[in-house]
Structure 1
């Protein structure tokens, strides 16, 4: 590999060659094979610029840096190019690894399906040992293949939830009252059902229907 150096308004010294050759060699170990490498050093009044261009068969990397010292600018430009080379290598490695990971995922899914099928067959063997062992003969004298069956057990009788009963005192009037007083008392206590006795001692029940109207029930 040949490294080309170009100096613009500056003379390329042996120190520049040493820094550039070492950096390009280090990047070449990362990328593998480098076709061409070009380092351009530009000197201005208060600014020193180094540009490193590396070409491979599939990739082109450029590192550019400015500094007050040409040696510093060259080292930092090589460092930037080296960072790009590492990223490029990681991307290539990830692309090569991806099909293998997908294949491993498919193999794991297939193995999981086979384990599920074996588990279902074991359940069927435990539930019907004689049928699976002997088989059921058909008209041609052949035995039918065993079919995996999963057996579920259900309770013979569904449990019935016991009713939840709460004793309420607020729904019963403690003194006789008229119908108007009972309606007001039921509204005040916010009761759906209100039991009271009228002034003659007859037991009556007020019931609030779904439409909001109060229904009077007279107990015989």
Structure 2
């Protein structure tokens, strides 16, 4: 990790430089090398400003903090930059594909499929409980026509099993019959 520290309107101090380098180097645990960091420490009247620009793996992070003490400004800056790096890492963590999805993508590509797009693993975001009212298939079709929904879950009176009736894109209906 390459860190450069610049002092503006303040006497250069080895202790301050070492402190800034130590605090900024905390991001090493979140990103892979090579990392370039440039820290600027400035004093303007009573304001102590710490700014940093960090480049790692083609990504850039910037931060600036201002307090009445240079050490606390560096602490706040390190926390800000580390939060940005963690947020960016979390953002891209969900986009990594697993081996099974890579195998599916490879199989689809081998079959000549033009569209191979696997962004991230699917998650259950919402759970909804539905009452499966007992009815005939004709009654379910009529109920689905009257509703704005795309599907209807019901208990088929003839088979006594849970069925799902859904609206197809071509205007017809599809039926899913469950078996125990």
Q: TM-score, normalised by structure 2?
A: 0.53
Q: Which residue of 2 aligns with 1:54?
A: 54
- In the aligned structure 2, how far is the partner of 1:49 from the partner of 1:39? 10
Alignment gaps of 5+ in structure 1: 106-151, 154-220
Do structure 1's residue 32 and structure 2's residue 32 form an aligned pair?
A: yes
Matches within 5 A, 1:167-206: none
Residue 182 of structure 1: aligned partner: none
3-state DSSP class of the match of 2:7? strand
How many Å apart are 1:24 and its aligned residue? 2.4
Which residue of structure 2 lines up, in the alignment, with residue 101 of structure 1?
121
Q: Which runs of 4+ in 1 moved over 2 A?
A: 97-102
SS in 2 for 1:42: strand
Return the structure number with greater helix share: 1
Larger radius of gyration: 1
Distance 1:21 1:65 in 2: 16
3-state SS of the aligned residue for 1:31?
Answer: coil
Identify which of structures 1 and 2 has the higher relative contact order when contacts are C-alpha pairs closer than 8 Å and 6+ apart.
2
Q: Is the 8 A contact 1:36 1:55 kept in 2?
A: yes
SS state at 2:95 partner: helix
Alpha-carbon RMSD across the aligned residues, in angstroms, is 2.6
Please give the alpha-carbon distance, in whole angstroms, between the structure 2 residues aligned to 1:22 and 1:51.
15
**Runs of at least 5 residues in structure 2 that lack an aligned partner in the other structure:** 98-117, 125-157, 160-180
Check conservation: 1:53, 1:63, Cα contact below 8 A.
yes
Structure 1 residue 14: deviation in Å?
2.3
Q: Which residue of structure 2 aligns with residue 13 of structure 1?
A: 13
Q: Retained in 2: the 8 A contact 1:52–1:77?
A: yes
Higher percent of residues as strand: 2
Change (3 A) 1:45 1:99: closer
Q: How far 1:100 sits from its partner (Å)?
A: 5.7
Q: 1:137-176 to 2 correspondence within 5 Å?
A: 152=158
Classify the secondary structure of the residue corresponding to 2:121: helix
**1:87 maps to 2:107:** no
Q: Deviations over 1:96-117 (max 9, x none)?
A: 1574624x99xxxxxxxxxxxx
Alpha-carbon distance in 2 for matches of 1:52, 1:75:
12
Q: TM-score, normalised by structure 1?
A: 0.44
Q: Secondary structure at the match of 2:96?
A: helix
Report the Cα distance in structure 1 between the residues aligned to 2:31 and 2:94, rounded to whole angstroms: 15
